[in-house]
Amino acid sequence: MAITVVGSVAFDSIETPAGRKERCLGGAATYFALAASYFTNVRVIAVVGDDFGPGQQAVFDKRGIDTQGIERAAGKSFFWEGSYLENLNEAKTRATELNVFGAFQPKIPEAYRDSEFLFLANIDPVLQRRVREAMSQAKLVAGDTMNYWIKDHREPLKEVLKGLDILLINDTETRMLAGNNNLVQAAGSVLDMGPRMLVVKHGEYGATAFYGKRPDGFGAKTFRAPALPLEEVVDPTGAGDSFAGGFFGYLASQKELTPGAFRRAMFYGSVTGSFAVERFGTERLEQLSRKEIDERFEMFRELTHLD
């Protein structure tokens, strides 16, 4: 079933211990869409500027991603510059230029309106909510957010959380959102805010799904997927969005959303996240195959399963 994703399509200049790359194609919606495209049809809602050319368009086209919802506006695309020289787990932002993204008003193409899966990537919660309401047919809605919205836009964010089935955020964001340093207690509080499932992304340590209203840390109410211990992390940018794309893309490809499907989705999320960091920008995600994805899935099983 088709997924519609709303979020940023951007240019990133990135410095990591492996080198530096100028103006890679980036943005949460881009990483998400590429990762999800190996599992199902993906439709993107975003805005870009004049600098988004045929080279960038081709990245989406090659993966069969529907881009009629990517609006072209006069001006420059969202630009981000960051460095991982000090810490591979957390980017130091050097520049953020919103450009055309600053006035983004998501427009939903008519052809997107039958999407049964909706992903609200990390954007202003006011916009997330508007898209959520306009796409009321969606049967499974997941979303992301970040510290900026949690700190300074808490009320609109809380409205978004009420309409989410699944929230995907990291450890720090979970603790900040709940105002509780104990991750399990924090996860319980976040579930009380609306989502039926919280997926906490732990970076190099994988991710944990919390579901049920009072997760007690035991048995059926949590599930943990590993991250591959990678020999060479070239560029961590987009790992979380790529996790979300693999996770949600796999779910959208399933006839039935069984508990087993959610477990496998967690593993597929870890798989696409682990590929994303192997090259700068979206390079690795652009040229994956389903066979490579499934082989790494099996490696993950081998890495974590007793027999």
Write the DSSP assignment of 26-52 as a string of letters. E-HHHHHHHHHTTTS-EEEEEEE-TT-
Q: Which of residues 24-83 bind a copy of itself (CB under 8 A)?
A: none
Tokens of 75: 């001006």
Binding flag, residue 204, a copy of itself (CB under 8 A): yes
Helix (H, G, I), strand (E, B) or coil at 25: strand
One symbol per residue from 209 to 248: x for binding a copy of itself (CB under 8 A), - otherwise; what is it?
-x----xxxxxx-xxx-x-xxxxxx---------------
Least Å distance, CB 44 to a copy of itself, is 30
Q: Which of residues 142-181 bind a copy of itself (CB under 8 A)?
A: 181
CA-nearest of 63, 44, 47 to 5 is 44
- Give the interface segment with a copy of itself, choosing from 61-69, 96-104, 145-153, 260-268 (CB under 8 A): 260-268
Binding flag, residue 305, a copy of itself (CB under 8 A): yes
How many CA within 13 A on the CB side of residue 3?
Answer: 35
Sheet strands (E) in the chain: 3-6, 10-16, 19-26, 42-48, 66-72, 78-83, 92-97, 117-120, 140-143, 166-170, 197-201, 207-211, 222-225
Q: Which of residues 85-104 bind a copy of itself (CB under 8 A)?
A: 88
Nearer to a copy of itself, 42 or 225 (CB): 225
Binding positions for a copy of itself, rule: CB under 8 A: 88, 181-185, 187, 202, 204-206, 208, 210, 215-220, 222-224, 226, 228-233, 260, 263-264, 267, 299, 301-307
